[in-house]
A and B are shown apart, each in its own frame.
Chain A
Amino acid sequence: MEHETLIVDLMGLKFDVTTTLVTVASCIIVFSVVFICTRNLQLKPTGKQNFIEWIIDFVNNIVSTSIPGKRGDRFKLLGFTLFLFVFVSNMLGLPLVLVINDIQWWKSPTADPIVTLSLAMMVILMSHFFGVQEQGFKNYFLNSYIRPVPFLLPIKLFEEFTNTLTLALRLYGNIFAGEILIGLIASLSNSFGAVTWIVGVPLQIAWQAFSVFIGSIQAFVFTTLSMVYISHKIGHEETVEHKEYVETN
């Protein structure tokens, strides 16, 4: 299942053409869908506007479960973009895995560990940034690493790295494994020409359906965990606000 990819050297930085291509494609797809769905907005929504508002509500719920009240509002766009990007990226490799002359041209961007690690790193760095912004550096440091007991400091420091890794590798592992199995089933179908299609095609359909399920779950999990990590960093005064939130609702 390992294939070469085309590598372009640009000003000393090496770029993987496949990953760049599918990442940009995923961005374009997300933007196009959302753009088309948000044309001609009505107060009384119909059709495509209902669809996009359903997704927005879904993501808003994810965000406000972790970060309740007004403080969650600024993270809703981030959650929305993360969810759609990861979801579409997960789906990209399902209908098509293109390998020409042993060079891979098309796959899910999230089947590349670098992509998922980039996203996870971005989320974790953002969580630290927002943590400092919301409660000041001193409180951020105390709440994140010293409280409730100082001797947990090494574990808490270690946790920052494991968080990044688990967030990234969970997504990567699921999608990469899915694509490997898609490739295996495809080569099984082609092993004896059209005869083995009888076995291969239903198997492939079943596995693709399951991969759609996995891809959706992983997009949901990625968004949820991102919000949980951010809320851990910003959310230590939450207890008061949370009470107020519960009382006012």
Chain B
Amino acid sequence: MFNQLAIGAATSAGNTLVVLISFLILLLLLKKFAWKPVTEMMERRSETIANDLDNAKNAKEEASRLATEQQNKLADMQKESAIIIQQAQTNAAKIEKDLIEETKMSIAQMKKQAKLDIDFERKSALDEAKNEISLLSLQIAEKLIGKEIDNQTHAQLVDEFIERLADSNETE
């Protein structure tokens, strides 16, 4: 023990220098090659984690906000659709009523028109019949008269007849 201490005394200054210098070199080397990158990485990691947590919180809030928004929208749409359906129903009822009324009106008009047409037809048929009768009666009268009629006089007679007919038509 004393022996070692005696030796130690002789070399203590040199050994102290060796220890201090090598320790300082080690410290500087570690700082340059290991400490800075590792601590930077650890800081970056804690920042990233904090950011991620914040982002997750924001995303959650956003999601719940969107969900309530969607629910509100859905409720609004349901209300709106109910209103639309109701409107459609009232419209349909109104249209039905209008249609029925219109149809009734047009039927009445058509009936009226048909009555008019029938009257007109009857009248014209009567007129025609009258003309026919008068023509027949004329022919009968001619036959009764017994007058020989040649072609020329026949034509004259026809003209006369047509004239008379026209006159009778005009006077009517």
A binds B: yes
Are B13 and A2 closer than 8 Å at their CB atoms?
Answer: no
- Classify the interface of chain A: helix, strand, loop or mixed: helix
Are A52 and B34 closer than 8 Å at their CB atoms?
Answer: yes
Tell me which of A110-118, A138-146, A198-206 binds B: A110-118
Decide yes or no whether B130 CB sits under 8 A from chain A: no
Known: A23-B19, A81-B23. A14 touches B10 (CB 8 A): yes
Known: A24-B22, A41-B37, A122-B20. A114 touches B30 (CB 8 A): no
Decide yes or no whether B133 CB sits under 8 A from chain A: no
Are B22 and A112 closer than 8 Å at their CB atoms?
Answer: no
Please indicate the chain A residues that have their CB under 8 angstroms from the CB of B25 in the complex: 27
Please indicate the chain A residues that have their CB under 8 angstroms from the CB of B13 in the complex: 13-14
Contact with A along B1-37 (1 / 0, CB 8 A): 1011101101111111111101101110111011101
Are A118 and B15 closer than 8 Å at their CB atoms?
Answer: yes
Please indicate the chain A residues that have their CB under 8 angstroms from the CB of B42 in the complex: 53, 56
Q: For B23, give its contact among A27, A38, A41 (CB under 8 Å).
A: A27
Are B31 and A77 closer than 8 Å at their CB atoms?
Answer: yes
Q: Which residue of A lies closest to B13 (CB)?
A: A13
Decide yes or no whether A58 CB sits under 8 A from chain B: no
Are A16 and B20 closer than 8 Å at their CB atoms?
Answer: no
Please indicate the chain B residues that have their CB under 8 angstroms from the CB of A117 in the complex: 16
Decide yes or no whether B48 CB sits under 8 A from chain A: yes
CB of A18 to closest CB in B, whole Å: 10
In the bound complex, CA of A94 to CA of B33 (Å) = 28
Which residues of A (94-123) have their CB < 8 Å from a CB of B?
109, 112-115, 117-119, 121-122
Are A14 and B11 closer than 8 Å at their CB atoms?
Answer: yes
Are B38 and A7 closer than 8 Å at their CB atoms?
Answer: no
A76-B39, A80-B35, A81-B27 provided; 11 other pairs, C-beta below 8 A? A14-B13, A16-B14, A20-B18, A34-B30, A43-B45, A52-B34, A112-B8, A112-B15, A115-B15, A115-B19, A118-B23
List A residues at the B interface (Cβ < 8 Å). Answer: 2, 4-5, 7, 10, 13-16, 19-20, 23-24, 27, 30-31, 34-35, 37-38, 41-43, 45, 52-53, 56, 76-78, 80-81, 85, 109, 112-115, 117-119, 121-122
